[in-house]
Amino acid sequence: MANQYLGFDLSTQQLKGIIVQSDLKLVHEAKVDFDADLSKYGIEKGVLTNPADGEVFAPVAMFLEAIDLVLQRLKEQGADFSRVQGISGAGMQHGTVFWNRDAEALLAGLDGGKTLVEQLEGGAKGERRGAFSHPFSPNWQDASTQKQCEAFDRVMGDGQKLAAATGSKAHHRFSGPQILRFREKYAEAYKATSRISLVSSFVASVFLGKVAPMDISDVCGANLWDIENNRWHEDLLALAAGGSEGLSDLKSKLGEVALDGGKSFGTISPYFVQRYGFPPSAQIIAFTGDNPSTMLALPLRSSDAIVSLGTSTTFLMSTKQYKPDPAYHFMNHPTTSGEYMFMLCYKNGGLAREHIRDAINKVSSTSDPKSWDAFNETATRTPVLGQTDPSTSPMRLGLFFPRPEIVPNVRAGTWRFLYDASTHALNPVGPNDTESWPTPQADARAILESQFLSLRLRSQPLVEPQGTLPPQPKRIYMVGGGAANPAIADLAGQVLGGAEGVFKLDIGGNACALGAAYKAAWGVERRHGEKFADFLEGRWDEERFVRKVCEGYREGVWERYGEALKGFAAVEARVVEEAGNERKREDEAMVGDVV
Ligand SMILES: Nc1ncnc2c1ncn2[C@@H]1O[C@H](COP(=O)(O)OP(=O)(O)O)[C@@H](O)[C@H]1O
Ligand SMILES: O=C(CO)[C@@H](O)[C@H](O)COP(=O)(O)O
């Protein structure tokens, strides 16, 4: 019987689990939806918020409960865990989990007759300490660390230098600024912390039965890792630790980093053997971030791009060149030493599109308020850039940020402009000017164009000419929840191009969890020195695994979006100048910016 491999994706709104065979065929998949299944934690869209301080976080107990629940669901579907030889996984990036001094003993002694949450969570009234020094994990949507980010940039001189060293300028959500704030805000809890995990290494720890190392790619989401020298950056560690005297303590809290993405950390905890029937020999292979893991779901060639439409929108490319810039992120490639991943990440992805979908559904005759039909029909019917006649009418360009955005760094808000490409004139649209910009209908196409123009603008330095075609990605792969939507995929192709077309994984499942399951298979089955890419190519069944959903590059249309880029950059600059200053004042006053 063929070996099987299990991959997880613990992301903002769900925990997904997926089982594949050695030949990469999907066997089972199941998910736990936090809002639907675990609403008792009081979460909304998977998180809790404290708007007064811009904080966004999730209960660690909810993650634990989800792990037992997803395994139970896989079992109910008929999964035979005794065939699973390797487990890996992915976690939403940047989030941290704080373990206390009892954690190692509790993890090592888990009783298969009880649940994880019963044994690892502290008692409600403190009658049991549990395994954590803090009950919550800061979420990547958190915006509470402006002061700390400024300190990170300052230590290196500026954001440019910080990006050169760590792959990114300081970001609110990055684990380094988050740890600094945690230490300042919860001094006692920081003292009581023996180990700090990322969300990915937290899940690995639960399966391993001891605190697991972070991996080489996910660690780059912390502003603490010196990428070119592959080691902790001591000046940045000292800052997060509150001075050089705290440095070695923080280093030991963070632990070792696994440089090999296929490394086995050891065999599975007896808890899962007793409770679910895993073989005691099942290996726990390094867990990584959700974005690095998504890149592993496909044999990505140079010039191919992944557009991941989850709660966040991310754009991913794999590259051999390390070209860091404060405008985007570079991280170590999760499996291939000497290669990197290029990433753009937007906070306003799925939820921003949902806002407009809901507004359109309210004014249409749709009976299902969550249906995408009216949104899609409106976006498809609206002409390119809202121009009924490209030679006379201006382009509609907007920004739609129900939450404060990362790219560009501005407060929450919606901005609509008319742009004349021949004169470069940019005029804001007044709230009552529904003739120039009928709301909410015109917003459907405008938000998609806006999201994809932003990706095109920032990925220009990485794309190359494709044969006789201008510089653009070779293939665009759509993944994440939004990839199910054909109108969104079509707009992605119109704006971004894609010489070979726009593709979607056709295996079912979820790219991120699939990537993790493939990594588990590679970690266990690789021949000496076999690279992940070769392992994947050897088992890849192009006909069955991917499907072309539409054309990418369309002559004439792609060029019109090219003309819009200048206007779009001007829109962003205008908004950053106006709202960025407001944001700075808000942050200084510590007024919350989560909406
Ligand atoms: N048919 C669809 N059209 C557009 N968006 C969709 C569709 N189905 C799901 N989504 C979006 O997918 C998002 C969730 O994506 P997913 O990748 O599962 O999330 P996560 O961020 O938890 O990994 C939701 O915010 C939802 O708006
Ligand atoms: O912050 C980032 C990347 O920098 C996010 O992409 C998170 O990694 C979570 O993403 P979702 O999968 O939940 O959208």
Query: Relative to the alpha carbon of 217, which ligand is closest?
Result: 2
CA of 347 to the centre of ligand 1 (A): 13
- Quote the Cα angle for 132-31-311, to 5°: 80
Tell me if 490 CB under 6 Å of ligand 2: no
What integer pLDDT is reported at residue 128 of this predicted model? 67
Which of 311, 345, 356 best tests ligand 1's pocket when mutated (most atoms within 8 Å of CB)?
311
What integer pLDDT is reported at residue 302 of this predicted model? 83
Alpha carbon separation from 328 to 169, 220, 316, 342 (Å, rounded): 8, 13, 11, 7
* Average pLDDT for 429-454: 96
The type of residue at 479 is V
Q: What percentage of the chain reaches a pLDDT higher than 70?
A: 96
Residue nearest to atom 19 of ligand 1 (CA): 310
CA of 245 to the centre of ligand 2 (A): 33
Tell me 348's DSSP state. Answer: S
Query: Relative to the alpha carbon of 351, which ligand is closest?
Result: 1
Tell me if 140 CB under 6 Å of ligand 2: yes
Which of 13, 56, 140 best tests ligand 2's pocket when mutated (most atoms within 8 Å of CB)?
140
More confident call, 490 vs 430: 490
Residue nearest to atom 5 of ligand 1 (CA): 482
CA of 273 to the centre of ligand 1 (A): 33
Query: Relative to the alpha carbon of 15, which ligand is closest?
Result: 1
Q: Across all residues in the chain, what is the average pLDDT? A: 94
Which of 94, 200, 309, 366 best tests ligand 1's pocket when mutated (most atoms within 8 Å of CB)?
309
Tell me if 311 CB under 6 Å of ligand 2: yes
CA of 361 to the centre of ligand 1 (A): 17
Tell me if 310 CB under 6 Å of ligand 2: yes
What integer pLDDT is reported at residue 124 of this predicted model? 64
The two structure tokens encoding residue 309? 């439409």
354 CA: nearest ligand 1 atom: 27
274, 293, 315, 583: which is closest to 452 by C-alpha? 315
CA of 350 to the centre of ligand 1 (A): 6
* Average pLDDT for 57-66: 98
Judge whether 276 and 75 are in contact, CB under 8 Å: yes
CA of 391 to the centre of ligand 1 (A): 36
Judge whether 437 and 396 are in contact, CB under 8 Å: yes
Q: Tens digits of per-residue pLDDT, 301-313?
A: 888 999 999 888 9
Tell me if 93 CB under 6 Å of ligand 2: yes
Q: Tens digits of per-residue pLDDT, 525-544?
A: 999 999 999 999 999 998 88
What integer pLDDT is reported at residue 588 of this predicted model? 37
Return the CATH architecture of domain 299-348+460-550. Answer: 2-Layer Sandwich (3.30)
What integer pLDDT is reported at residue 582 of this predicted model? 52
Q: Is it the case that residue 592 has pLDDT exceeding 70?
A: no
Report residue 565's pLDDT band, with 50, 70 and 90 as the boundaries.
Answer: very high
Tell me if 9 CB under 6 Å of ligand 2: no
What are 465's strand-pairing partners? Answer: 471
Q: Tens digits of per-residue pLDDT, 1-23?
A: 789 999 999 999 999 999 999 99
Tell me if 145 CB under 6 Å of ligand 2: no
* Average pLDDT for 239-244: 96
Residue nearest to atom 9 of ligand 2 (CA): 92
Q: What percentage of the chain reaches a pLDDT higher than 90?
A: 88
Judge whether 516 and 9 are in contact, CB under 8 Å: yes
DSSP for 405-429, please give it: BTTTTB-SEEEEEEEETTTTEEEEP
Report residue 580's pLDDT band, with 50, 70 and 90 as the boundaries.
Answer: low
Q: How many CB atoms lie within 10 A of CB 331?
A: 27
* Average pLDDT for 348-368: 94
Q: Tens digits of per-residue pLDDT, 245-301?
A: 999 999 999 999 999 999 999 999 999 999 999 999 999 999 999 999 999 999 998
* Average pLDDT for 216-237: 97
What integer pLDDT is reported at residue 403 of this predicted model? 87
Buried b (16+ CB within 10 A) or exposed e, 182-209: bbeeeeebbebbbbbbbbbbbbbbbbbb
The two structure tokens encoding residue 343? 């990433």
Which of 45, 57, 145, 291 best tests ligand 2's pocket when mutated (most atoms within 8 Å of CB)?
291
**Among the ranges given (51-55, 197-201, 460-464), the one the predictor scored with the smallest mean pLDDT:** 460-464
Q: CA 369, CA 367: separation in Å to the nearest integer?
A: 6
Q: CA 7, CA 70: separation in Å to the nearest integer?
A: 12
What integer pLDDT is reported at residue 404 of this predicted model? 86
Judge whether 173 and 311 are in contact, CB under 8 Å: no
Query: Relative to the alpha carbon of 511, which ligand is closest?
Result: 1
250, 177, 202: which is closest to 97 by C-alpha? 202
Report residue 585's pLDDT band, with 50, 70 and 90 as the boundaries.
Answer: very low
Report residue 579's pLDDT band, with 50, 70 and 90 as the boundaries.
Answer: confident
CA of 35 to the centre of ligand 1 (A): 14
CA of 290 to the centre of ligand 2 (A): 7
Q: Is it the case that residue 39 has pLDDT exceeding 60?
A: yes
Query: Relative to the alpha carbon of 292, which ligand is closest?
Result: 2
Residue nearest to atom 2 of ligand 2 (CA): 93
Strand 475-479 versus strand 501-505 pairing type: parallel
CA of 24 to the centre of ligand 2 (A): 25
CA of 165 to the centre of ligand 1 (A): 33
Q: How many CB atoms lie within 10 A of CB 569?
A: 15
Judge whether 153 and 160 are in contact, CB under 8 Å: no
Report residue 67's pLDDT band, with 50, 70 and 90 as the boundaries.
Answer: very high
171 CA: nearest ligand 2 atom: 4
Sign of dihedral through CA atoms 534, 539, 542, 546?
A: negative
CA of 197 to the centre of ligand 1 (A): 27
286, 340, 350, 299: which is closest to 318 by C-alpha? 340
Q: CA 214, CA 261: separation in Å to the nearest integer?
A: 10
Report residue 594's pLDDT band, with 50, 70 and 90 as the boundaries.
Answer: very low
Tokens 């070792």 belong to residue:
256
349 CA: nearest ligand 2 atom: 14
310, 262, 269, 266: which is closest to 288 by C-alpha? 262
Return all residues near 414 (Cβ < 8 A) that are at least 6 apart: 398, 399, 400, 401, 402
Q: Tens digits of per-residue pLDDT, 134-162?
A: 999 999 999 999 999 999 999 999 999 99
CA of 91 to the centre of ligand 1 (A): 17
Tell me if 12 CB under 6 Å of ligand 2: yes
Report residue 552's pLDDT band, with 50, 70 and 90 as the boundaries.
Answer: very high
Q: CA 215, CA 205: separation in Å to the nearest integer?
A: 12
CA of 535 to the centre of ligand 1 (A): 30
Which of 9, 12, 145 best tests ligand 2's pocket when mutated (most atoms within 8 Å of CB)?
12
The two structure tokens encoding residue 51? 């708007």
* Average pLDDT for 436-446: 97
Q: Is it the case that residue 561 has pLDDT exceeding 80?
A: yes
**Among the ranges given (28-42, 369-383, 416-430, 497-511), the one the predictor scored with the smallest mean pLDDT:** 497-511
Q: Which residues approach ligand 1 with their CB closer than 6 A?
A: 11-14, 310-311, 350-351, 354, 372, 480-482, 484-485, 488
Return all residues near 578 (Cβ < 8 A) that are at least 6 apart: none
Report residue 428's pLDDT band, with 50, 70 and 90 as the boundaries.
Answer: very high
The interface predicted TM-score (ipTM) is: 0.95
| Whole-structure pTM value | 0.91
What integer pLDDT is reported at residue 586 of this predicted model? 42
